[in-house]
Structure 1
Amino acid sequence: MPRRRKLVLVSLAAALALALGWGIYLLVLAGELSRLAYHSDAECTRVEGVVGAEDLAFTRASGTPEGGVFVSSDDRRATVAGTPVRGAIYYYSLAPTAPGVAAIEVASGDDPELFHPHGIGVTPASAERERLFVVNHPRASLFGPNDHSEGPGHTIEVFDVISEAGRVRLDLQHTIADPLLVSPNDVAPVDAERFYVTNDHLATSKLGHKLEDYGRLARGHVLYWDGDAFSVVADGILFANGIDVSRDGTTVYVASVTGARVHVFDRDPSSGALTAREQVPVRGPDNINISDDGSLWIGAHPKLLTFTSYANDAAKRSPSQVFRLSQTESGAWETEDVWLSDGSDISGLSVALGVGEGRFLVGSVFDAWLLDCQRVVD
């Protein structure tokens, strides 16, 4: 065999071996080779009428002891099909006197005109007034264009939360647009003016997104809005997704869905600067919500490539998982596997929100409902 031909064959064999190895590596990281033991100790009620309930945020605006939940809703399958439908923020009452569908109503009005909500966050109880911050994709999104008009692809919408005659509604106050909002995913306010927001990618094309995801390029980062301008306060994160701030304002948590971890940062309350503290392993974390006891409720995708298949085909289902993270007195993390479903009840779960003793809500990127669950004590 000629030397040149031998070198070509050896090079091709090495390239194939490398590609095969990389493919297996990605399958392992995505959880596709894991055997899942589905389980649940909760009884769940399906709440219809909210398509793509991708994120949830607790509010006490109704004045009832139980409070309520804002639901970020957008029909992303319509966007994928090239026929986007205006999204909405719903209000879901947690009061027992208003169960099921009757408790769901639209809280957002006609503004902004182009509205495709994604991550949401409510100001902490210490804020001077309650506001809802919303990541909006008026023209661009991970799932395709929402509108072809001129203007910013992504914005942050700031709403005042208003309770009148027992009903909750939102009043738009500000729209924030900036070139640094490249691919915003989730938002976490620290008061009525300042907030953090994640950029899950820095690429702006589908090809660029795939290169970042499958090439394991950690280009996601966290922005901080100080009331006047954005600055990058944390970077080098694989697909920076959900974000939340501790009740005392000293810690910020960021989910890395493809990195299979939650990044924990110390926060300087005066400047907003973040300092990396530690990373907590969590499989496929999406959104993060902090409950009253300080624990982190996380909606997760245990099989990321299966989720991708489900995103492309509504007939397929994708496993869904809920984790609850808490810290011991020594500072060690305890991870509780609360709920693991095969996706038959809800697929592509993106958010979990603890709302009371043993009660939690879950939402999905695409499904047309959310689940209201109560854990059963033996």
Structure 2
Amino acid sequence: MGLSTYVATIVLGLAVLLGWLTDRHTLIWLTVNNRPGRLPQISKFADQKIVFADRIRNCEDVHLDTQRGFAILSCDPGRDTWNTVMGTFINATNPGTLYLYNYASTFDATSDEKNLHPLPMTNFPTASRQTFHPLGLAYNPKTLQLFVANHAPTGSAIELFTLDPNPEAPSLHHEKTITHPLLHGPNALLAVSEHELYITNDHLFTQRASPFLAALETYSAYPGGTVVYANLQTDTYKVAAHLPYANGIAALNQTHVAVASTTTPSVTVYRINPATKDLEKALSFRTRFLVDNLSVDGKGKLIMAGHPFFPAVAKVARSNWVVDFEGNGRGRPVAKRGRAPSWVAEWDGNVEGRVEDLFVGDEFGTSSTAVRDVKRGLGLVSGLYERGVLVWKE
């Protein structure tokens, strides 16, 4: 090896190490700076309220149909005992449910109870229904297709449904179950056409296969997470990008998508290569919290929700299964359940743009997704381990 090659190797190695140390320094700084007692309490909303706290909980993802004025919620009370991302494998037989919420009249009606509809699933096998654990969603309002990441005990899959949005009795019809070796841990989904998806796998090593390697991947920020391009028409699957803890994904426009890297913590914007469908990095920006899911509103703003203090989220994930949510007198009282704060922010989409905080605090905890209907001036926040949904008015 020549001297110049040797020097170049050393320089490259130091650059990689410096990048890794910068990422870890950022995460450590956030953990210290966002600890309880130091976290700011922020709300930029004109009004806000928590709805359905006595009916739903552990809602991870939300998608809006702004034309029809409803939201689809991915909720799973069974997350307390079965969470393949956080490594909870106690009991998988308490299934999740998808809901349709007519949110448009939230601040006009005296009661929201009639506006929430659990979505029955026709043509979905009973055995699959009993172990259904929904996570991320992708919704196509033109075709009424709904793709759902399902972390079933038999293995992760993507379920495809067609929505019947009947106002009186909405329902879902199961079309197919999608599996592939590259979809070993599907987290968030983005439908770019009726047969094309981008799907994030948060880890290379899953908690099911190897808890130790999964933890090592998480805390080292190894870029084992992937974004997979799937074409259901041609049965094509390929890895389009790698990044650490790939999580939420959203389309900024027809040519660019944003992907959250939870443990970096940052958001990366990619250009879609129209020929290969690979994702080519355009820019990246850091956040002051661990971003979970992403959405884009009608004005093109990127809405981010996530977790400012991860130790609190981990504690809730470990302890929620002993809480007496069913009111049967066994377990810890609901009032004494663990809590973890939320952080919701927006990015205006400009290269030199700024991130503006919209909501920070623990009035509503473990924020995982935030969505906004610009025309109606309303937004929703879901909580990974929270009761109900936070609805805001601008």
TM-score range, shorter chain: 0.7 to 0.9
Residue in 1 that maps onto 2:292:
286
Aligned partner letter, 1:313: S
CA shift for structure 1 position 269: 4.0
The residue type paired with residue 239 of structure 2 is: V
TM-score (norm 2): 0.78
Q: Does 1:103 align with 2:103?
A: no
* 1:199 counterpart = 2:219: no
1:179 Cα deviation after fit: 1.2
Query: In the alignment, which residue of structure 2 is the partner of 1:299?
Result: 305
* Contact in 1 for aligned 2:219/2:263 (Cα 8 Å): no
Q: Comparing 191-200 with 36-45, which one deviates more in the overlay?
A: 36-45
Which of 22, 38, 43 aligns to 1:40? It is: 43
Amino acid at match of 1:46: I
The count of residues paired between Structure 1 and Structure 2 equals 330
The answer as to whether partners of 1:181 and 1:199 remain within 8 angstroms in 2 is yes
Q: What is the DSSP-based 3-state SS (H/G/I as helix, E as strand, rest coil) of the residue aligned with 2:277? A: coil
Q: Are 2:378 and 2:393, in contact at CA under 8 Å, matched by a contact in 1?
A: yes
Q: Indicate the residue corresponding to 1:83 in structure 2.
A: 91
Q: Any runs of at least 4 consecutive aligned residues in structure 1 with deviations exceeding 3 A, and if so which? A: 24-27
* Deviation for aligned residue 1:25: 4.1
Deviation of 1:202 after TM superposition, in Å, equals 0.9
Question: Cα offset for 1:215?
Answer: 2.2
CA spacing shift, 1:366–1:165, aligned 2, 3 Å: closer
- The answer (yes or no) to whether the contact 1:32–1:304 under 8 Å persists in 2 is no
What runs of 5+ residues in structure 2 fail to find an aligned partner?
A: 1-20, 83-87, 321-336
Q: Cα distance 1:294–1:264, how it changes in 2: closer, same or farther (>3 A)?
A: same
SS at match of 1:178: coil
Q: Give the deviation of 1:332 after TM superposition.
A: 2.1
Q: Which residue number in structure 2 is paired with residue 313 of structure 1?
A: 319
Secondary structure at 2:345 match in 1:
strand
Q: CA deviation at 1:370?
A: 1.0
Give the drift of 1:195: 0.3
Residue 78 of structure 1: how far off its partner (Å):
2.8
Over the residues paired in the alignment, what is the CA RMSD in angstroms?
2.3
Instruction: State the Cα deviation string for residues 69-108 of structure 1 (Å, max 9, x = none).
Output: 0000112113247233111110010231665232111124
| Structure 1 segment 355-374 matched on structure 2, within 5 A | 355-356=373-374, 357-374=376-393
Partner of 1:12: none
Cross-structure match for 1:54: 60
1:130-176 superposed Cα distances (whole Å, 9 cap, x missing partner) = 2111111111xxxxxxxxxxx4x111111112223554322111210
* Residue aligning to 2:359: 339
Residue identity in the other structure for 2:57:
V
Give the Cα separation in 2 of the matches to 1:165 and 1:215. 48
Distance 1:68 1:50, change over 3 A: same
Q: Deviations over 1:282-339 (max 9, x none)?
A: 23111001111111111111112222122223422111010111134xx422211011
Residues in 1 aligned to 2:137 and 2:385: alpha-carbon distance in whole angstroms: 16
SS of residue paired to 2:200: strand
- Which amino acid in the other structure matches residue 104 of structure 1? L
Change (3 A) 1:50 1:269: farther
Q: Which moved more, 1:95-104 or 1:350-359?
A: 95-104
Instruction: Report how far residue 272 of structure 1 moved.
Output: 2.1
Per the alignment, residue 148 of structure 1 pairs with none
Cα shift at 1:26: 7.5
Moved more, 158-167 or 277-286: 158-167
Correspondence for 1:119 among 121, 127, 136: 136
Q: How far apart, in 1, do the equivalents of 2:275 and 2:246 lie?
A: 24
* Structure 1 residues 166-221: Cα deviation after superposition (integer angstroms, max 9, x where no partner): 54322111210111112111000011111000010111322222111122222111
Aligned-residue offset at 1:45:
1.7
CA distance in 2, matches of 1:317, 1:165: 35
Give the TM-score normalised by structure 1.
0.81
Task: Report the CA distance between 1:29 and its aligned residue.
Answer: 4.6
Cα distance 1:27–1:213, how it changes in 2: closer, same or farther (>3 A)? same
Q: Percent identity?
A: 27
Within a 5 Å distance, the mapping from 1:109-148 to structure 2 comes to 109=121, 111=124, 112-113=128-129, 114-123=131-140, 127=142, 129-139=143-153
Does residue 352 of the first structure (1) align with residue 370 of the second (2)? yes
1:108–1:169: 8 Å Cα contact kept in structure 2?
yes
Residue 244 (structure 1) aligns with: 250
Are 1:175 and 2:197 counterparts?
A: no
